[in-house]
Structure 1
Amino acid sequence: MTVLATFWARLLHVFGWRANATSHLEKTLSALGAFCGIGLIYAVTHWLLPSEAALWVVASMGASAVLLFAVPHGVLSQPWAVLGGQCLSAVIGVACARWLPDSPLAPALAVALSILAMHYARCIHPPGGATALTAVVGGPVIHDLGFNFVLLPVLMNVSVILLAAFLFNSLFPWRRYPVALARLPEPPKAPSGMAPEDFYHALRQVDSYIDIQFDDLLEIMQLAEQHARAQRLEADDILLGACYSNALAGAGWAVRQVIDDAPKQRGRRDLVIYKVVAGAGQGNTGVCRRLDMANWAAHAVATEGKGWIRVTPEESAQRAAQR
């Protein structure tokens, strides 16, 4: 990897650019759901309110639509988060606007108090900050509504978008909203060697708000473990020329390459000769049974730039032969 490529990769990492496994269908459904939800809110709001006030409120609901339709399973997207976050923030915003009129501190105080209230009420919803700010800086049309702003348009719009999210997401079995409706009757088991209490302890150590349900985290780990088990190598997967990693973290990581074997031998005489080509013991050679190599290895790997990537045993052997 060139210096420029390394710099660019690090820059993207700093800015938070991450791999995205979301399918094209899911991305399209997110956009379509937001179109339906905001279209309905826009129509209802313009029917009941002056156009200027309607525009401010639709802007706030647009932020909610991103969560409800793009991340319907997220903690920040659940009904209580949307309802509590929006309405509490609206109340605080109106109070700041009325009790600190024309104060330069009112906008910042409204958003700050909204965040504090959402934390303690367990209803963090980022668009709530926009609603609180709107109540302060929205101008005379918003100010004239007073605390009615909480009921109409905020509560009304929240009700509309929640209904839209429930109806739209229910059309697709894999889109869970509210997420509690799709909860399994029995919580998923934690991966072997770890208990749910261990995950809870780890989350508390992070001491930061993470937008994922606790049960979802366990389910993700369980699925990852199942996938890892499905990818486990057998003796027949140990091929001449292929490289294998033990996938250990830290100083124990190593990559072995099979440099000689006896494919026609079986049982105890089915031996392979390997060389450690990376990691702990690099340069050393050894002999072991093919089955023992399969038990040691986590997966086959191949070089990619200055690092290693996971590949099939066949592809690893082919790449080695081409070198």
Structure 2
Amino acid sequence: MRHTIRYWFKRSAFYFGGDQPPVSWKERIRTCMGAFIGLLLVITAAKYLGELSGIDEWLMASLGASALLVFVLPGSPMAQPWAVIAGNTISALIGITTVHIIGESLLAMPIAAATSILGMFILRCLHPPAAAVALIAVLGHIAHYRYAIFPVMIDSILLVIAGALYSNLTGKRYPNKPAK
């Protein structure tokens, strides 16, 4: 046998996270604390706004995935304010519209997700968690367009504000200007 176990381990490490860049513990803790603080602020504010307005839906389920992008990958084009806010909002609108047009969830879910991706391409606001927003609208049979404003758009705005405050206070730039 020509190759050693070490050789095969190195060769297959790529498939088990070997392609991930190394991240210091300081940076891991900084980003996790940011996500915790940011989500705590957004969830608290959204709950208060929901109670104040008498709306039961006050939180979008994909907010955690958006927080990962905003706090862990603030330099990503998919974590920038336009991508987060417009991507989530357009996907909610498309998901709700799909609920109105297509009754069968099995067909509505892939149509809503695919159409929301197309909408994000057109508006130049690709944000991966937003495709889940469209699915959530279909799965939850959400028929009120106000859902796209609150909680989706409002939660997204609050998350971007929290991300900007936290990142800039801890020495990371957010939002980022596009490279020229």
Fold conserved between structures, TM > 0.5: yes
Match of 2:169, SS? Answer: coil
Match of 1:179, SS? Answer: coil
TM value normalised by structure 2: 0.87
Distance 2:64 2:27 in 1: 19
Question: Are the aligned partners of 2:117 and 2:131 in contact in 1 as well (CA < 8 Å)?
Answer: yes
Q: Which residue of 2 aligns with 1:179?
A: 176
CA distance change for structure 1 residues 147 and 116 in 2, over 3 Å: closer, same or farther?
same
Distance 1:118 1:151 in 2: 17
Task: Report which stretch shifted further, 25-34 or 5-14.
Answer: 5-14
Distance 2:155 2:137 in 1: 15
Matching residue's letter, 2:124? R
| 1:117 Cα deviation after fit | 1.4
CA distance change for structure 1 residues 21 and 158 in 2, over 3 Å: closer, same or farther?
same
Matching residue's letter, 1:179? N
TM value normalised by structure 1: 0.50
Distance 1:170 1:85 in 2: 23
Match of 1:105, SS? Answer: helix
Matching residue's letter, 2:95? G
Q: Deviations over 1:225-270 (max 9, x none)?
A: xxxxxxxxxxxxxxxxxxxxxxxxxxxxxxxxxxxxxxxxxxxxxx
Q: Which residue of 1 aligns with 2:151?
A: 153
Larger radius of gyration, structure 1 or 2? Answer: 1
Distance 1:111 1:20 in 2: 30
Q: Deviations over 1:185-225 (max 9, x none)?
A: xxxxxxxxxxxxxxxxxxxxxxxxxxxx545xxxxxxxxxx
CA distance change for structure 1 residues 45 and 73 in 2, over 3 Å: closer, same or farther?
same
Distance 1:44 1:84 in 2: 20
Q: Which residue of 1 aligns with 2:30?
A: 29
Q: Which residue of 2 aligns with 1:78?
A: 80
| 1:73 Cα deviation after fit | 1.3
* Unaligned 5+ runs, structure 1: 181-212, 216-323
Of Structure 1 and Structure 2, which has the larger fraction of its residues in helix?
A: 2
**Identity rate of aligned residues, in percent?**
33
| 1:72 Cα deviation after fit | 0.9
Distance 2:87 2:20 in 1: 30
Matching residue's letter, 1:154? V
Match of 1:176, SS? Answer: coil
Distance 1:90 1:12 in 2: 38
Matching residue's letter, 2:13? L
Q: Which residue of 2 aligns with 1:201?
A: none
| Residue from 113, 125, 130 that aligns with 2:127 | 125
Q: Deviations over 1:72-97 (max 9, x none)?
A: 11111111111111111111111111
| 1:116 Cα deviation after fit | 1.3
Match of 1:90, SS? Answer: helix
Match of 1:18, SS? Answer: coil
| 1:2 Cα deviation after fit | 5.1
Distance 2:174 2:14 in 1: 31
Aligned length, in residue pairs: 174
Q: Deviations over 1:35-73 (max 9, x none)?
A: 0111122222333042xx346x1x211110000000111
Matching residue's letter, 2:106? P
| Residue from 91, 98, 102 that aligns with 1:100 | 102
Distance 1:87 1:114 in 2: 10
* Unaligned 5+ runs, structure 2: none
| Residue from 144, 148, 163 that aligns with 2:161 | 163
Q: Which residue of 2 aligns with 1:109?
A: 111
